Amino acid sequence: MASNKFELHESRLATTGEHGERVYIHPEDVKGVWRNRRTVFYWFLIFLYMVLPWINIGGKQSILLDIPGREFTFFGNTFLAHNAPLLIFVFLGFVFTIGFITSIWGRVWCGWACPQTVFIDTIYRKIESFIEGNARQRQKLSAAPMSFEKLWKKSIKWVLFLIVSLHITHSFLGYFVGARKLFWITMGPPTEHMTLFIFMCLITLLFLLDFGWFREQFCIIACPYGRIQSVMMDEHSKAIIYDEKRGEPRRQPGMKKDEHGACINCYACVKACPTGIDIRRGVQLECIACTNCIDACDEIMDHVGSPRGLIRYDTQSNLEGKPTKYLRPRNLIYLAAMIGIFVTFIFSLKLSQEFRATLVRGSNTTFSEAVKSDGSIEVVNHYKVNMENESLTNYNISLRFKDKSLEDKITIVMPRNPVTVDKAYFKTNVFFKFEPSVLTNGSKSIIIEFFDTNSNNVVLEKEVKLAGPLK
């Protein structure tokens, strides 16, 4: 039997009851230095999340993942479907960056940048506190039988949760549909874009249940990051740590002041934890490094006249009186991998061309012959031209010969020449007409220039092999 109602069970999580049922966490609101820092940073992240879809760079949305159009725009750079291999660098870069950050600063992502923490802590829990009161009042309301007060408070809370979830969802969809396009879509009836409307409803429901109900269960059960952190962290990694040497033995009833350590066993750290752990038991998988326990403990230390820092950001080696090594093989490997991936990614982007084109034969036969009005034979070669524009500007492409002497011998016939390539993909047909005498042993290689009349530059050259009768 626990000596204190806030004492956690040794063999099960605080979110799990004796019979396996869920125990809801109602963390105490805290004030302090770390709380203020996180609040400012959280609102900065939310501001970026909401505003970025509305920022245009070079006429295109700053970040847009157009899945149906197979196009990804990232701060002025456009990537198409054939750029998919570059995603390998993005994924590996993310993995090694997280590894590097975790190896030095621990689970700073979970406590400072994870959307799960940011939205719940900044918006959803604030709404809950405004409607239902502080942690004790919320806990009392949840345990109380259904009444008119409980019904209207819970109803208003969930209506506000729904409104916030809808706003978060539409901002999220703005990264995939386009913020401005999505705005005008929402002005029309849902039946005009039923698939998008269904997706919106499903994502809103997901956010509503996750941020409003599932909450810390996601961090404890569903998120894999907490499991793999043990691989990335060691005794030199920053973590939220309880100074056991200073705090033990904890104060117990009947103890004199000189008989116990700095920890007065007030359980303020436990009551403030959003995942329901006791940080005094050491670094745990459930700890998201949110710093709530630091501010809660510092406030108590101020009240009892003891120095702050009984719970603090520190390393295990420093706590044991050993120097913390920031440059160690693990960190250097992560850093070298990050730099290598970043350089390779930039080098790959530099090598990629903003304008590409391919010419493939468009007929089942290699060539065809036509009789001209004067009775002479004319050979015709048909090619399909596929052009790709990855830049933010339009190209006005004219096909012409590099060898100008061929202009009197070979005629280029196109539906339009020049053609405007103002989108990712553009397809057209080109026919080369010439007399058989142009060929040597039934073939001739020529160089076709893709000339941009807007910039007066040749943006690409392609070799084309003309074919005809062996005469």
Q: What are residue 178's DSSP bridge partners?
A: none
Same domain, 46 and 23: yes
C-beta separation of 50 from 123 below 8 A: no
Other C-beta atoms closer than 10 Å to the C-beta of 114 total 21
Same domain, 315 and 194: yes
Domains held by the chain: number: 2
pLDDT at residue 1 tops 50:
no
Range of the domain at 122: 1-352
Same domain, 338 and 362: no
- What pLDDT does 249 receive? 93
Give the pLDDT confidence of 81-112 residue by residue, as tens digits: 777 778 888 889 988 998 899 999 999 999 99
Question: What is the model's pTM?
Answer: 0.80
Same domain, 151 and 15: yes
Same domain, 333 and 426: no
Alpha-carbon 321 to chain mean position: 39
Same domain, 326 and 435: no
Residue 376's domain is classified under what CATH number? Answer: 2.60.40.10
Residues 6+ apart with CB under 8 A from 150: 141, 144
C-beta separation of 118 from 215 below 8 A: no
Rounded Cα gap, residues 470 and 436, in angstroms: 9
Same domain, 245 and 284: yes
Same domain, 238 and 379: no
Residues 6+ apart with CB under 8 A from 340: none
pLDDT at residue 205 tops 50:
yes
Give the pLDDT confidence of 331-381 residue by residue, as tens digits: 999 999 999 999 998 888 777 667 889 999 987 788 999 888 888 889 999
Same domain, 406 and 327: no
Tell me which of 313, 331, 352 is where a domain ends.
Answer: 352
423 confidence band (pLDDT: 50, 70, 90): low
Same domain, 307 and 411: no
Compute φ and ψ for 134, nearest 5 degrees: -75, -175
Give the pLDDT confidence of 145-183 residue by residue, as tens digits: 999 999 999 999 999 999 999 999 999 999 999 999 999
Rounded Cα gap, residues 62 and 316, in angstroms: 42
| Mean pLDDT of the region 280-289 | 91
Tell me which of 295, 317, 352 is where a domain ends.
Answer: 352
| Mean pLDDT of the region 199-213 | 97
Other C-beta atoms closer than 10 Å to the C-beta of 32 total 19
- What pLDDT does 10 receive? 78
pLDDT at residue 184 tops 80:
yes
Rounded Cα gap, residues 464 and 167, in angstroms: 54
Give the pLDDT confidence of 311-338 residue by residue, as tens digits: 999 999 999 889 989 888 989 999 999 9
Same domain, 228 and 188: yes
Same domain, 200 and 327: yes
Query: By C-alpha distance, which of 12, 11, 5, 6 is closest to 296?
Result: 6
Tell me which of 337, 352, 367 is where a domain ends.
Answer: 352
